[in-house]
Structure 1
Amino acid sequence: MPLDSELSVTVMGLGYIGLPTAAVIARTGAMVTGVDVTPSVVDTINSGRVHIEEVDLDGLVSGVVARGSLKASLTVAPADVFVIAVPTPFTQDRQPDITFVLDAARAIAPVLKSGDTVILESTSPVGTTEQVRDLIARERPDLKLPGATRPGEQADLAIAYCPERVLPGRILVELIDNDRVIGGITPRCARKALAFYRRFVRGACVTTTARAAEMTKLTENAFRDVNIAFANELSLVADTLGVDVWEVIRLANRHPRVNILSPGPGVGGHCIAVDPWFLVAADPANTPLIRTAREVNDGKTDHIIARAAAMIEAQDGPVACLGLAFKANIDDFRESPALKVAAALAARFGERVHVVEPYATTLPRAFDGTGARLIDIDTALETCGAMIVLVDHDIFRSVPLDERRGKAVLDTRGLWPDQS
């Protein structure tokens, strides 16, 4: 593989993972082209700006664009390494949809050359990396593909899977510091991908098979989903019994071998709310726990909508929904239970619903035609007699009791334990 200053890398997809990854690689001195299908995203990045909210990303992108190490494009050009970081949603019947992955593989196929490395980072069902290999084989019959060569014959390409495992708000730090699992179609593919990641990853890089790496990523998110479901189910029981779930969890976690997570209005984000369904789809008969966890967490959102609606019906005047993002201090609304709750309430109660979301300048389309409006936290405290806490943004945490006293509060995050 070429030296950093000579290495060319193409990153397919410039979203929440693709853009930070492209910028981090560009910082090493490699020449990086980020490819996206949205012209406004390409124009924004080429001007040295960013279209997503992430700590320190704006400064990094500005720097590498100014140095000429990163550029964005609508078209794919030849490179030494191709990183695919595109979305992998599920369908309405909760089946994984890898259309974007296969489209990206189809787009890079014409420019591939002997010696290139193709790495899939998108969270994917087990077997997707092999499907990428097979698609490239159909598109480029002139190339010898890994896993399809004769004994002793060397493949022209290295194809591997290396899932991201970063936390929004800490992406730039965790891209470098977190351990990485690198699964190759063959051991040689894994070794070549390993050499690439060692250029910018300080964490341990562990090699395995592509299928094992794919399942590892799904397992990590299913594990977290199951544990969150336990906390959310506890919160339902506590509501029934009239017990403070936050106190119960705090006390239970004093046990040396207990670490219960915090409940919330559900589970959001493109990973935890989606990926467990990939395992269920792969083996429905043997995943009752994973399926139930998903249903518990989705059901918690419906429970919060019902409780909030009852509170609003018992009040007069406007109510403030605090937060739309799927977690604190970010602008990512993908699969957000907070957004689902607020939008459902707006559809029912119209202009009585006011939304406070410091990471939004306009309300999402889910609120079109409802009459709901976006306000700031100070306006909410001055005008709204009821508050529904849906996201634990720092700005909400900073509101003192004196400014909240006398208001009806539904706190789904345990943010205001002192509320009278």
Structure 2
Amino acid sequence: MQNLSDPFDVCVVGLGYVGLTLATALASAGLRVAGSERSQDVVDLIASGQSPFHEFGLDEAIQAVVSRGKLVPFSLEDGTPVADSYVITVGTPVKNGSVYLEDLKSAVSAVADVMPDGALTVLRSTVRVGTTRTIAEPILKDSGKKYAVAMAPERTIEGKALAELSSLPQIVGGIDENSTQLASELFARLGVEIVPVHSAEAAELAKLASNTFRDVSFAFANELAYFADQSGVDVYDVVRACNYGYDRMNVALPGPVAGPCLEKDAYILSNSADVLGVEVPLAMQGRKTNEFIVSHVVNSLLPDMNSHTPKVSILGLAFKGRPATSDTRGSLAGDFAQAMKSKYSVTDVAGWDPLVSVTDAQKMGIHFDELDEALKSDVVLIQTNHRFFSSEEFYSALERNEQPGRVFVDLWNQLDAERITSMGNRLIPLGRKIIDVKDALV
């Protein structure tokens, strides 16, 4: 392993989904990259050329850069490596409505202790507006060294992160012109267009605006679906008609809106507004509308089972299905499981996912089953839009485990109604008419 005192071109602090993909991309671009990570297990996996999570193409890319010595992971116990530039990607979860920044402060302090004079520090974690200038900069300033500091928000989608790191324009905003320039030069090594903004605060807000806009857009689609379920209107018919040949319309389709970004960024925007004594009601209403999906599904879609205690299961446990991911952070599967336990007075909810681990399922209060066993349920909730659930392999599993009377609740409108009902099952899609066996025969 390379010595800590041998300067690297860049050190990425935090080797989770954001940090590891960025570190790998920078190393692939020819930079000498160090990674600093608190989990020794993660460090060991990366050092052996493996990714600790599913991300398309990442294992092969890690193997290539680790074998050439371009990416070297270090644990916190090893200390923070010396580098010309640092990129901080530690988690910034929301706790009690406010963004938790203690891990970020610790990371900046660790960088300040070892950075050479004039080093660049870039925040990539999602933060409250003003964090770069009012929290990170004072810590660096107290080191007594010259420094540059900027914000360069991460906007990739899990499952396509490596491809997007080499294609998406990169927003960069520093506390001064020099910081913006140095950060722009660093991210230009990825071969992407740089979008400089006039301040670190603008870059911070751009990240929050990007995700909150998407959250609100999806909230409108879900609100239409909630209305459709009560009125008998087919929301997919409505969206198709609205969008067809009409360039000014791009209504999204409904479904669970979750994950480590969309579940929290409206709250961080609201937290930013609170500091200034203002409000962002649209952002928060959109978030609440998306969170309401659990209550809506449980109370309006899931059938009552008064005659017996049913076996229930959830298929698709990650926070999303397309692009595929193993990430359960912010997944609504755990919320659905808890609500189903309450509705049906059961202590166990089975679950299955093509990529999620048994351990991560258990953390959400879900008993991970083999697919065939999970399908032997009275009520099956399809929670993600993973392509497996519209594949022939999935229907083969259904045929192997044919069980008339099952109820499938499909939150993504991907099940084939004719094939489901031909097996004597009932299909309840979000925002569409309930399809029963008798309906299929009409």
Q: TM class by shorter-chain length?
A: 0.7 to 0.9
Distance 1:357 1:312 in 2: 25
- 2:54 equivalent to 1:53: yes
Post-superposition offset of 1:186: 0.3
- 2:114 equivalent to 1:119: no
Post-superposition offset of 1:114: 1.7
- 2:181 equivalent to 1:183: no
Instruction: Summarize the alignment of residues 195-344 of structure 1 with structure 2, pairs less than 5 Å apart.
Output: 195-254=185-244, 255-265=246-256, 267-284=257-274, 285-307=278-300, 310-311=303-304, 313=306, 317-328=310-321, 329-344=324-339
Map of 2:86 onto structure 1: 82
Task: Choose which of 389, 402, 410 in structure 2 pairs with 1:396.
Answer: 389
Post-superposition offset of 1:135: 1.4
Distance 2:307 2:62 in 1: 49
Secondary structure of the structure 2 residue equivalent to 1:286? coil
The one-letter code matched in structure 1 to 2:285 is: T
The one-letter code matched in structure 2 to 1:22 is: A
Deviations 1:75-114 (A, max 9, x none): 202100100001111112x111111111100111111122
Indicate if the aligned counterparts of 2:169 and 2:193 stay in contact, CA closer than 8 A. Answer: yes
Distance 2:211 2:44 in 1: 33
Unaligned runs of 5+ in 2: 1-6, 422-442
Post-superposition offset of 1:349: 4.4
Task: Give the aligned CA root-mean-square deviation in angstroms.
Answer: 2.2
Distance 2:124 2:207 in 1: 10
Secondary structure of the structure 2 residue equivalent to 1:77? coil
Map of 1:358 onto structure 2: 354
Indicate if the aligned counterparts of 2:362 and 2:368 stay in contact, CA closer than 8 A. Answer: no
Corresponding pairs, count: 395
Post-superposition offset of 1:246: 2.1
CA distance 1:312–1:10, change in 2 (3 Å): farther
Distance 1:180 1:98 in 2: 23
Task: Choose which of 135, 158, 161 in structure 2 pairs with 1:171.
Answer: 161
TM-score by length of 2: 0.84
CA distance 1:229–1:177, change in 2 (3 Å): same
Give the share of equivalent positions with the same residue, in percent. Answer: 32
Indicate if the aligned counterparts of 2:333 and 2:364 stay in contact, CA closer than 8 A. Answer: no
Distance 2:387 2:307 in 1: 29
Indicate if the aligned counterparts of 2:184 and 2:194 stay in contact, CA closer than 8 A. Answer: no
TM-score by length of 1: 0.88
CA distance 1:197–1:134, change in 2 (3 Å): same
Distance 1:158 1:314 in 2: 67
Post-superposition offset of 1:316: 5.9
Indicate if the aligned counterparts of 2:168 and 2:192 stay in contact, CA closer than 8 A. Answer: yes
Indicate if the aligned counterparts of 2:218 and 2:290 stay in contact, CA closer than 8 A. Answer: yes
Secondary structure of the structure 1 residue equivalent to 2:72? strand
Deviations 1:150-204 (A, max 9, x none): xxxxxx2221110011011100000110011100110111011111111113234
CA distance 1:110–1:304, change in 2 (3 Å): same
- 2:52 equivalent to 1:42: no
